[in-house]
Structures are given as structure tokens and as C-alpha cells.
Amino acid sequence: MNALIQNFFNSLALGGLYALIAVGYTMVYGILRLINFAHGDIFMMGTYFAFYAITLLLLPWWLGFLFAIFITGLLGYSIEKIAYRPLRNAPRISSLITAIGMSFFLESFAVVVFGGIPKSFNVYPKMFSDVIIIGKTRIPVLTFITIIVTVLLFLFLWWLLYKTKTGLAMRAISVDIPTTSLMGANVNNVISITFIVGSSFAAVAGILWAMKYPQVQPYMGFTPGLKAFVAAVIGGIGSIQGAIVGGFLLGFLEIMLVGFFPNLAGYRDVFAYVTLVIILMFRPTGIFKIYSEQKV
Amino acid sequence: MYEILKVESLKVHYGAINAIKGIDLSVEKGKLVTLIGANGAGKSSTLNAIMNIVTSKKGKISYKGKDITKTRTDEIVKNGIVLVPEGRKIFPNLTVQENLMIGSFGRKDADIKRDFDLVLGLFPRIKERLKQAGGTLSGGEQQMLAIGRALMGNPEILLMDEPSLGLAPLLVKMVFDVINKIKTEGKTILLVEQNASMALANSDYAYVLETGKIVLEGNGKDLLVNAGIRHAYLGIN
């Protein structure tokens, strides 16, 4: 029972992280029909920005984290503007290849500038690694923080999408870019905001991730990025609810599998991809299908 | 009279295909001007060029004496030119109310609520369906919504691309009633139509477009009795 409660909270935290990253994939896909393969590396850059903001710029940890989130948002904005915007009307395969190239570029940049040796991410207050003991259940403080931050960010996202004009334009753009510009909306700005939000979310996930597995290295974005992408596809890429559900689903499957069958622990990654294959076999569009037909 | 919109020697090409081969037209303030012509004559291209959705173009487009040939689409909208696009292009995933509200995206003035009530007054059918997804409306309702959405932008000049397309005759009449009502409220309208008889009967001035060129122009009612027009567009010998 204790193990179950512990696993439940761990699943929520891990699922939340996957969902945070997956939202970035799905928002960009929903608007531009582009799979932003660099998203996992934006996640990685976010952790480095946090690391250096605290160790090099000597900012207090909370300011360092906020600074990193802001800079990562700026990075996402620049990537869209420099790499993807010029290709917006080009064949889709061109932007896809550009996204893969951007992923390689960011990884190589990190190797050259930050160095390939993993760095210890010991830049956060020690109380985060404390363990709360309720009865016989032991849950790290960080797990609670992760869950709370995730919930707050999703509430923010819901508010942005459904209560603001920008969110209205984001939802409109996802079906029809030219018609949205006919409404008097500057579509470039709306797309920029989408990249900023997605990248900032990735930075938050990256920082939480680096505290959980306390080190940073240039390829750390690959696996979480790929799994979050799987989560987005399972949920139905393009759908934000789908990305969130897919993220949590993957988190639960992974933790519970390892929790109940410890000798299968080595297969946890395989399990995520097997889930993807099974879901795609029965629901090729994922759990939530995005609106694709338009009545004429 | 005051020419609010002026198009001079406009040319549009899509790759090697010349869709518009140099046309001139002007729209006077408060008038209903129509562009008629067959499929592929370049009617929609003209409107899309004015809105700068089509950018591969030459010539000059001016609005209130200001050159807007290269102005960004959303800026053109904010300046008071709004297009009701061909095929309605309402947002199926947004509610009817959201579809209307997004029409006022570029506005910052305080009269948005007034225009919202005005649009609902004009289209009682839309008012009953505010919470429904736009995609669930019938074709006629979607056309009403598309016109209402454009009016939410508080345009000075409204461009309409085939608003009667695919509608039953009764609904076509309704659309033209609405167009006339909008006109009496002081708005200028540039209308593109295939339904030549309806369009000509209602317009102050009309241009006939054939394979990217203007072949005839004149008062709507004069063109309606023109033998060539009757033969080519109305099917009357």
C-alpha cells in the first residue's frame, strides 16, 4: 500500500514532466504542422541556462531559474524566427529536416561551449531533496513541487488559451493561418508567443528534471524529448488535452511497471514505445483527435 | 465622389500563370461595386491581392489615398478593409461567439460590444447558436456568421467573395438583403459574384472580368440590360 502511494506520486511527477514537454511539441504541431525535433534540446538548454545563471552570474536560485525560463523562451522565439519562419511556405519536409538540423546544432553547441562532461546540478536549496515521511510512505519534497508547478502551469495554459485574445488567435491559427490574419491578427506574433510558451515550459521541465536526476549534459534532452513526443502522439498530436493525458499515461505506465515488476526495470523505455505502437494500431490519430475536417 | 479604394494596373501571377493581367478599378465611398466573371477570371485573386494575402503582384493599390500594396494583411484590416473570404472560412473549432469576437481582434476601441449587439440584431439565427461550435452550423448560417464576423471588424469597406455560393435561392435573397442593409448603414462594399443577375440588380457600379482583364464596366442596371452580358452571364439570348 505504501509502495502504491509512493508510486502514485512519482507517476504524477514524472507524468507531469512529460506532459510539460509534450505540450510544447503539440502546440507547435497544432499551428505549423511541424514536429519540432529541437524541442528536447531546448529542454536541455534550459537546464544549462539555469546552471550558469546560478554558478556564473551568481543569481539566487529562484532568480536563476526564472532567468533561465525567460532566456529559454527567447531561444525558442529566435529558433522560430531564424530557422522555421523563412520556410513557412516551403514543403513540410524542408522544415522537418531543419528541425532535425537545429537539434544537432543545439547538441553540438552545448558540447563545444558547455563541454561534454556531465555537470552536477547542485544549485538548488537542499530542502528540495528532503523526504516527507507520512506513516511509512516516503515522498521527496521535489515530487510535490513538481506536481504543484505542473498543475499551476497547466492552469496558466488553460487561462491563456480560453480567456485571452491571444489564446483565441492561437486556436484559430491552428485551423487556418491566412483567415486568422484576415481577422486583423498578426500571425507572426501569435506563432512567436506559441514558441515562447512551449520553450519556457520545456525549461521548467528541464530544471525540475535536473533536480530529480541532478546532473546536466548535452544529450540529456534526447530521451525525455523522445518520450514526450511519444506522449504527444499517443494523446493525439495537435491536441493539448491529448498531450497532457498522454504525458500522465506514460508517466504512470513507466513507474507502475517498474514498481510492480522490478525485474523488468531495464525495459522501461521499451515499454513507452510499445505503448505507442499499440495505441497507434487501434487509434492512429491518438486518443484525442484534432479537428481536421472543415465544412465547406 | 470620393474614391476610397483604387486599384491601378494590378497584375497577379501564380508561378508561370498570369491570373490578372493588368486591371484598373475604383470604389467610391458608400457604393456597392460588383466584380462579375466566370470561374478563373481573377475575381478572388483581385480581392486577395487587395488584402495582400496574394503577394506575387505588380501595380498599385491605394486606400484613402494611401499606398497599401505592400501593407501586412492584419494592418490592412485594422485600417478598415475587411474581407469575407470565399467558402466562408469560419473557424469550426471555435464557438459561434468566439468566431464573432475574433473578428474584432485588431480593434482597441470601446464599441466592440455595440457592434456585437448590432450583428446579433442583423442575424437572429446566429444569436440562438452562440455557444455552438462554428462547424456545426449549416451552410447558410455559416455565411451569416462569416458576414457577422467581418462586421465585427467595423470595416469602412467590406470585400465579399461570392457570398451566395452554394446557397439555396431563398438564402441568396437573404444574403443580398443583408448586403443592402449593410450598405444603407454607410459601409462601402466591393462584391465578387458569379450570380450576375442578383449582383448587377443590386450594385451601383460593376466590372466584368474575363481571363484576368476587365472587358466591360458601367452602372449595374445598364450592364443588366447589356446584350453581351445577358448572353454570357445570364444565359438569355
Which ipTM value was assigned to this complex? 0.92
Q: What is the greatest pairwise CA distance in chain B?
A: 54
The confidence score (pLDDT) of residue B2 equals: 86
The tens digit of pLDDT for each residue in A35-89 reads 999 999 999 999 999 999 999 999 999 999 999 999 999 999 999 999 999 999 8
The minimum CA-CA distance between A141 and chain B, rounded to whole Å, is 40
Among A88, A182, A239, most B C-beta atoms within 10 A, so best to mutate, is: A182
In chain A, residues with a C-beta closer than 8 Å to the C-beta of B139 are: 295
Instruction: Work out the average pLDDT over B140-155.
Output: 95
| Domains of chain A by residue range | 2-221
A253: its cell numbers: 505506465
Question: Contact A291/B98, CB-based, under 8 Å?
Answer: no
CB contact under 8 A, B74 and A169: no
Chain B residues whose beta carbon lies within 8 Å of the beta carbon of residue A294:
92, 135
Please give the Cα distance from B157 to B4 (Å, whole number).
8
User: Is A186's CB within 8 Å of B87's CB?
Assistant: no
CB atoms within 10 A of CB B40: 14
A143 phi, psi to nearest 5 deg = -60, -45
Using 70 as the pLDDT threshold, list the residues of chain A that sit under it.
290-296
pLDDT of residue A254: 92
pLDDT, position B1? 66
Beta strand ranges found along chain A (DSSP E): 119-120, 131-134, 137-140, 215-216
pLDDT value of residue B236 = 64
* Residue contact B94–A171, C-beta within 8 A: yes
Give how far A74 is from chain B: nearest CA, Å.
24
Which grid cell is B124? 437572429
Pairing of strands B17-28, A119-120: unpaired
Say which of B88, B105, B166 has its CB closest to residue A183: B105
Model confidence band, residue B38 (pLDDT cutoffs 50, 70, 90): confident
Q: Are A17 and A209 in contact (CB under 8 A)?
A: yes
**Residues of A in Cβ contact (< 8 Å) with B93:** 171, 174-175, 291
CB–CB of A253/A44 below 8 Å? no
Give the pLDDT confidence of B177-190 residue by residue, as tens digits: 999 999 999 999 99
* A16, A146 Cβ separation under 8 angstroms: yes
Q: Under a CB-based contact definition with an 8 Å cutoff, are residues B176 and B32 in contact?
A: no
- Minimum-distance CB partner of A181 among B73, B153, B166: B73
Q: Do B107 and A180 touch (CB under 8 A)?
A: no
Angle between helices A187-212 and A61-79 (to 10 degrees): 140
Stated pTM of the model: 0.92
For A126, the grid coordinates are 537542499
Tally of CB atoms within 10 A around A281:
8
- Contact between chains at A168 and B102 (C-beta distance less than 8 A): yes
Chain B residues in contact with A169 by the CB 8 A cut-off are: 102, 105
Q: Which three cell numbers stand for residue A215?
A: 546532473
pLDDT on residue A25: 96
Which pLDDT does position A65 carry in this prediction?
A: 97
| Minimal CA separation from A251 to chain B, in Å | 29
**CA of A29 vs chain B CAs: smallest distance (Å):** 16
pLDDT tens digits along B120-138: 999 999 999 999 999 999 9
Give the span between the Cα atoms of B49 and B29, in whole angstroms.
20
For residue A113, the distance in angstroms to the closest alpha carbon of chain B comes to 39
- Those residues of chain B whose CB sits closer than 8 Å to some CB in chain A are 51, 53, 72-74, 77-78, 82-83, 85, 87-89, 91-94, 98, 101-107, 135, 137, 139, 142, 149, 153, 166
Q: Which domains does chain B have, with CATH numbers?
A: 1-80+189-237 (3.40.50.300)
Residue numbers in A near B151 (CB within 8 A) = none
Q: Is the CB of A171 less than 8 angstroms away from the CB of B91?
A: yes
Task: Kindly state the percentage of chain B with pLDDT values over 70.
Answer: 97
B77·A295 Cβ contact <8 A = no
